[in-house]
């Protein structure tokens, strides 16, 4: 399994998926940007490219990854935390060697990306 999705995150994602049409997958990946050069991408996807993507079912959720992102995402945990200000997803990636102060971007050993203003 590429990543772990906690029970709290799974419940939140499954609730969000109820608003999507049939055939939705959760796409988790990385993109360039943020203070440290890379940021996470989390959203719903309907079109899977079998040559470029891998799909895993995690806690009953179909999750799609770009194959090139898998080495950087390997071992990552997605959680959902609720507090007085609301709730949000948190991502713990053991492959991140630097994270920015705002917590929304990172740098990996094998892929730095291009930093942008935070």
- Position 28 scores a pLDDT of 96
- Position 61 scores a pLDDT of 97
Mean pLDDT of 40-60: 95
Q: Please state, in angstroms and rounded to a whole number, the distance separating the CA atoms of residues 102 and 84.
A: 19
Mean pLDDT, the chain, rounded, equals 86
Is residue 22 within 8 A of residue 52, CB to CB? The reply is no
Is residue 10 within 8 A of residue 59, CB to CB? The reply is yes
Q: Using CB atoms within 10 A of its CB, is residue 12 exposed (0-12), middle (13-18) or buried (19+)? A: buried
Q: Please state, in angstroms and rounded to a whole number, the distance separating the CA atoms of residues 53 and 68.
A: 9
Is residue 107 within 8 A of residue 89, CB to CB? The reply is no
* This prediction's pTM: 0.83
pLDDT tens digits, residue range 7-36? 999 999 999 999 999 999 999 999 877 666
- The DSSP call for residue 55 is E
């Amino acid at each position: 399994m590429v990543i772990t999705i906690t029970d709290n995150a799974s419940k939140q994602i499954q609730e969000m998926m109820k608003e999507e049409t049939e055939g939705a997958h959760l796409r988790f990946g990385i993109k360039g940007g943020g203070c440290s050069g890379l940021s996470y991408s989390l959203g719903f996807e309907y079109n899977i490219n079998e040559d470029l993507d891998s799909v895993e079912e995690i806690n009953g959720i179909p999750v799609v990854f770009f194959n090139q992102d898998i080495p950087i995402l390997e071992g990552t945990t997605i959680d959902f935390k609720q507090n007085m200000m609301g709730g949000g997803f948190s991502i713990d990636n053991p492959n991140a060697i630097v994270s920015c102060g705002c917590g929304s971007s990172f740098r990996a050993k094998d892929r730095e990306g291009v930093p942008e203003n935070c």
